[in-house]
Amino acid sequence: MQLIFIRKVILKSILFFFATTSLPGQTNFSKQIAKGVYFYFGDEVQRKPANCVWIIFKDYVLVIDANYPWGAKEIITEIKKTTDRPIRFVFNTHYHHDHSFGNCVFADSRATIISTEETAREMKTVGQKEWDQRSGYSGGNMEGYKREFPSLVFENKMVFDDGEQRVELIKMGPAHTGGDGVAWLPKEKILITGDLFVNGNPWGNNVGDPDVNYEGWFKVLDTLAGWDPLIVVPGHGNPGNTENLTEQRLYLSDMYEQVHKGIKAGKSKEELVKEIDLSKHPVYGSNKTSIERSIRQMYNILHK
């Protein structure tokens, strides 16, 4: 009972900190969330949208997600404020531009890029389409930056453990993308999800990517919630907990069920965009642009 009480107190303190300090437009925001574990708050307004986490091992640093190049440069600056150990590894949770275009900056610092085997393949196929339009995707000038692919890949799981820190990189896709991977810190019960989970993001929660697998995504969210993490770091937005993972699941499944029902009733895509009500999910359903984009893409995928 005492351990449960302490856990709840720690969690409330951490979530209160982020709820009261992480604001849209804020830059240079990073915070220690456990011993040797740091969180960087991604900022859409400043075109550095993806969250990042780094873990300090005895001899090196492991980074989770690379952001855009200018975001990567800022993240490296933040890391240097916390340690003088070298950045040796960067894990891409998935291939998307806002999580991987910054790979080149980390590689220039002699870091090895890691991903699942499937993510590495996606970077060279669907990810290449993003790179071909790189400034269009990033919203910033990508001239002078080069493509950097993962050189260390794994099929299902890779573990980093130096006796003090342990990080498990685990393949969970297909879900949000085919190769989705998460980082799990079992001792601290910290989960870093990439875009499998988005929490309280003021710029919305787009769940309509072209290569999405909704049935797989439902199963992944159920699995991750079953791990009962103390802190869940999303791809975008504020850190949350197991309850927030469940809320993401409810938002996604509610949209899925309404779109599926509408298709069976013979309704058009635009009719569903106008009619579908997600107001019971205020944290995820408040951004109209993201909702409409998601409904349209979900319709395209299900209407086959």
Tens of pLDDT along the chain (304 residues)?
444 444 444 455 455 445 444 444 444 479 999 999 999 999 888 899 999 999 999 999 999 999 999 999 999 999 999 999 999 999 999 999 999 999 999 999 999 999 999 999 999 999 999 999 999 999 999 999 999 999 999 999 999 999 999 999 999 999 999 999 999 999 999 999 999 999 987 777 888 888 899 999 999 999 999 999 999 999 999 999 999 999 999 999 999 999 999 999 999 999 999 999 988 887 776 678 888 999 999 999 998 7
pLDDT tens, position by position, 122-143: 999 999 999 999 999 999 999 9
Q: What digits encode the pLDDT tens for the residues 142-163?
A: 999 999 999 999 999 999 999 9
CA 250, CA 152: separation in Å to the nearest integer?
35
pTM: 0.90
**In the 8-state DSSP scheme, what is residue 195?**
G
Given a contact cutoff of 8 angstroms between Cβ atoms, the answer to whether 50 and 93 are in contact is no
Structural domain includes residue 277:
no
The answer as to whether 264 is a domain residue is no
Pick left, alpha or beta for residue 49 (phi over 0 → left; psi -120 to 50 → alpha; otherwise beta). Answer: alpha
| 101 strand-pairing partners | none
Q: Is residue 251 part of a domain?
A: no
61 within some domain: yes
Domain with 162, as residue range(s), is 2-241
> Does any domain span residue 35?
yes
How many domains does the structure of the chain reveal?
Answer: 1
* 270 within some domain: no
What CATH number is attached to the domain comprising 205?
3.60.15.10
